[in-house]
Amino acid sequence: MTSSLIQQYFPDLSAQQIQQFDQLFELYQTWNSQINVISRKDIDQLYERHILHSLGIAKIFSFLPGQHVMDVGTGGGFPGVPLAILFPETNFLLVDSIGKKIKVVNEVATAVGLKNLKAVHSRAEQVDQKFDFVVSRAVTKLKDFYPWVKDKFKKGGTGDFKNGVFYLKGGDLQEELSESELKNIQLFPLSDYFKSEFFETKYVVYFPAQ
Ligand SMILES: C[S@@+](CC[C@H](N)C(=O)[O-])C[C@H]1O[C@@H](n2cnc3c(N)ncnc32)[C@H](O)[C@@H]1O
C-alpha cells in the first residue's frame, strides 16, 4: 500500500515526505502486530482512517516553522506523526501515558527520520512545557481534557487562530461541546475537504486557550 491517497489531497509534498508517508504502512503493519496501537482490522485503512484523518487539522491550519505542538494521548502517533511529516520545521511533542505505545512512536519516527518529533511516556498533566498548540484525537471528552492542558499554552496566535486546541472529533457533538463550557469553539467538517463516507461525520474542533 502506498500514500497515493495522501498525495491526492496534499499535492505539494516533497519527494522525502512521499517516501516517509509510503514507509508508514509497513512500519505500522510490523509494529501493530506486536503492540496494538490501531485496531487490527483497520490496518488496511491506515492511509484514510489514520493518516489522512490526522492531516485534517492541516486543512484548517498550517503550523509555522519553530512553533511547538503537543499531541496528547498520541497512542501509536496520531495525529502527531503525520503532522510532523507534513510540517518538518515545526516541533512536535507526542505524549502518552502508556509506555509501549511511545515505543512504537519512537521506532516509527526513527525509521522515517523525523528530527522534529519527540515522544515521551507521561501523562499530559505532568508535562512541564508551554506550547503554541495542542492536538489530539480520541482521548476523552473535552470537559475532562481541557483541564489537563489549560496551563500549557504560550501567549500568541497566528492569523485567525489564537494559540489553542485542534481536536479531531466525530459524531454528534452538541452535548459534549455544551457541557465543556468552552468559549469560542469552531467546528470544521472534514467532509468539506475529504470525499469519502468515513469523513461525513468527522470534524476538527478548534478553541483558543482560555
Ligand atoms: C483511544 S487512544 C487514541 C490514540 C491516538 N490519539 C489515536 O487517535 O489513534 C487514547 C490514548 O490516550 C492515552 N491517554 C489517556 N489519558 C492520557 C493522559 N492523561 N495523558 C497522556 N495520555 C493519555 C491512552 O494511553 C491512549 O493511548
Per-residue 3-state assignment (H helix, E strand, C coil) for 163-178:
CEEEEEEECCCHHHHH
Q: What is the pLDDT of residue 1?
A: 83
Best residue among 28, 43, 96, 135 to mutate for probing ligand 1, ranked by most atoms within 8 Å of CB = 96
Mean pLDDT for the chain?
Answer: 97
- Ligand 1 proximity of 78 Cβ (cutoff 6 Å): yes
Asked whether residue 124 is marked as a ligand-binding residue, the answer is: yes
Q: Tell me the per-residue pLDDT of 98-152, one tens digit each, with 9 for 90 and over.
A: 999 999 999 999 999 999 999 999 999 999 999 999 999 999 999 999 999 999 9
- What are the structural domain ranges in the chain? 4-208
Provide the pLDDT for residue 87. 98
49 is in an annotated binding site: no
Which pLDDT belongs to residue 158?
87
Angle between the N-to-C axes of helices 15-34 and 99-112, in degrees from 0 to 180, rounded to the nearest 10: 150
Does 40 have pLDDT greater than 90? no
Instruction: Give percent above pLDDT 90 in the chain.
Output: 96
**How many DSSP H helices and E strands does the chain contain?**
7, 9
Cα–ligand 1 centroid distance for 138 (angstroms): 7
Residue 113 is assigned to a ligand binding site: no
**CATH H superfamily, domain 4-208:** Vaccinia Virus protein VP39 (3.40.50.150)
Answer whether residue 41 shows pLDDT above 90.
no
78-93 pLDDT tens trace = 999 999 999 999 999 9
Residue 169 grid cell: 472529533
* Whether the Cβ atoms of residue 20 and residue 7 lie closer than 8 Å to each other: no
Residue 11 Cα to ligand 1 midpoint, Å, equals 30
